[in-house]
Amino acid sequence: MDVQVKLYGLFKKYAPEERQEFQLKLPPDSNVKKLLKILNIPFEQERTLLVNGQLAGLERRLESEDIIVIFSPMSGG
């Protein structure tokens, strides 16, 4: 299945050819954890991760044409 991935900030270095947005082919029944593993993003690295605009955890199952956005968490003051 194909998904669209958008990486921002520190996460851009995990993208193929350091592109901010790219298509990625995943095995069927993949979840967010599998995606992070494929991109070599450490599980313990703090991040905000959205799937189709909604916050998602590691076990969130992915579907074809999902849009995954990963960026560093923000702090306010």
Please give the domain boundaries of the chain with CATH numbers for all domains: 2-71 (3.10.20.30)
The residues near 38 (Cβ < 8 Å, ≥ 6 apart) are 24, 26
CA–CA dist 35, 75 (Å, integer): 25
Question: In this predicted structure, what is the pLDDT of residue 76?
Answer: 54
Distance CA 48, CA 60 (A): 14
For each of the chain's 77 residues, which pLDDT tens digit applies? 999 999 998 899 999 887 899 999 999 999 999 999 999 999 999 999 999 999 999 999 999 999 999 999 875 55
Look up the pTM and report it. Answer: 0.90
| Confidence at residue 75, expressed as pLDDT on a 0 to 100 scale | 53
Contact (CB, 8 A) for 3 and 32: no
